[in-house]
Amino acid sequence: MEQRILGSTGLRVSALALGHSMGAQDFGTNAQQAFHALVHRALDLGVTFLDTSDAYWDGLHESWLGAALRGRRGEAVIASKFGNLTLPDGRKAANGRPEYARRSCEASLRRLGTDHLDLYYLHRVDPAVPIEDTVGAMAGLVREGKVRHLGLCEASPQTLERAHAVHPIAVLQTEYSLWCRGPAEAVLSTCRRQGTGFVGYSPLGRGLLTGNVRHYSDLATTDRRRIHPRFQDAHLARNLRLVDELQAMAAEIGLTAAQLALAWAAGRGTDVVPLSGTQRITYLEQSAMAVAIRLPQVVMQRLERLFRPEAVAGERYPADMLPTLGI
């Protein structure tokens, strides 16, 4: 697996990052054993960049990942996050208070069973706390050896610049796929100017670009994608027409639609790493193959014309969650 350097601080990672799936229940019976097998296969393939958060499965994802890495911690680059909260009424909130950053980091270290995080992200920017205060506290964790590199998620160019002035920000993570290009491309130039790498989550459009979702009813009643406008009936039919063309293009060159979408994302620059989640080892293996593919420029351009922003229907998040993005 190709290795890439993200940011000016020298963070070395695999060209594909493995993230979380929708929920622990997605792994079926013997779920934790299946999860461990997935992580071990990722390491065997050279997919060593492993992404988690204290928000995933209420911390259980970190606990399972830590257990899976016992005896293999030295092979992995662990990235975790803090500050993305779900309130009792289901609304989203952020917490970037300095004391919370420290408390969250120490809790993540315990769950993961490690003495340091290779990369620690602020999961969502807290509008009530100056970014300088939050990053200042995170920088303190670096000085203490609990964290090696710092990152931000879903931050605006202006916030990224302010944060970077306090401590080098190795990575900015934002949703990025053929289906969702605008937010990332708005901040990529800032990343490149100041030496910040880029991680793009949901490179398969939350699964839509695989072609496996054809109807809103295909989503389980507990599937959070049901609240996302792009999957709802008002927009899904229009989006599926783009997916159908993606599948046709992929068939022309002997790839799956998912592989073509991932190859595009990995081809956006050596400072860009797609972050994808799956429950199936077969899909993980196909993804690892995809990021090694170098698409001709004509194919890259054809894909970008097909998925031009105005061709995509619906917002990427529900209206009540949009204010928490790009702060």
Closest Cα to residue 291, out of 18, 89, 8, 100? Answer: 18
Q: What integer is the mean pLDDT of 26-31?
A: 85
In whole angstroms, what is the distance from residue 105 CA to residue 143 CA? 14
What CATH number should be reported for the domain holding residue 18? 3.20.20.100
DSSP assignment of 121-167: EESS--TTS-HHHHHHHHHHHHHTTSEEEEEEES--HHHHHHHHHHS
* Burial class of 119 by CB neighbour count within 10 A (0 to 12, 13 to 18, 19+): buried
Domain that holds residue 318: 3-324
Task: Give me the pLDDT at residue 116, please.
Answer: 98
**What region does 58 belong to: left with phi over 0, alpha with psi -120 to 50, or beta?**
left
Q: Which of 17-26, 44-53, 284-293 shows the lowest mean pLDDT across its residues?
A: 17-26
Q: SS3 of 118, please?
A: strand
The whole-model pTM stands at: 0.95
Written as six digits, the tokens of 217 are 């009813």
- According to the model, what pLDDT value does residue 49 have? 98
Residues 100-157 pLDDT 10s: 999 999 999 999 999 999 999 999 999 999 999 999 999 999 999 999 999 999 999 9
Instruction: State the catalytic residue, choosing from 56, 120, 201, 317.
Output: 56
Euclidean distance between CA atoms 237 and 26, whole angstroms: 26
For residue range 198-215, list pLDDT tens digits in order. 999 999 999 999 999 999
Stretch 284-304: mean pLDDT: 97
Could you give the number of structural domains in the chain?
1
Percent above pLDDT 90 for the chain: 87
pLDDT for 66: 98
pLDDT of residue 28: 80
Examine the residue annotation and report whether 317 is marked as an active-site residue of this protein: no
Strand-pair partners of 72 = none
* pLDDT score for 107: 98
The tokens describing 280, both together, are: 């199936």
- Phi first, then psi, for residue 9 (nearest 5°) are -90, 0
Longest dimension (CA), the chain: 54
In this predicted model, what pLDDT tens digit does every residue of 296-325 receive, in sequence order?
999 999 999 999 999 999 999 988 888 888
Residue 273's H or E segment, with its range, is strand 272-276
**CB contact at 8 A, 174 and 188:** no
Question: Mean pLDDT throughout 224-230?
Answer: 91
C-alpha span between 48 and 45 (Å, rounded): 8
List own/partner pairs for 25-28 with CB under 8 A and 24 or more apart. 26/279, 27/279, 28/279
Q: Which residues share a beta bridge with 49?
A: 17, 77
Six token digits for residue 281: 């080892």
Residues 6+ apart with CB under 8 A from 82: 53, 54, 95, 100, 101, 104, 105, 108, 120, 121, 122, 123
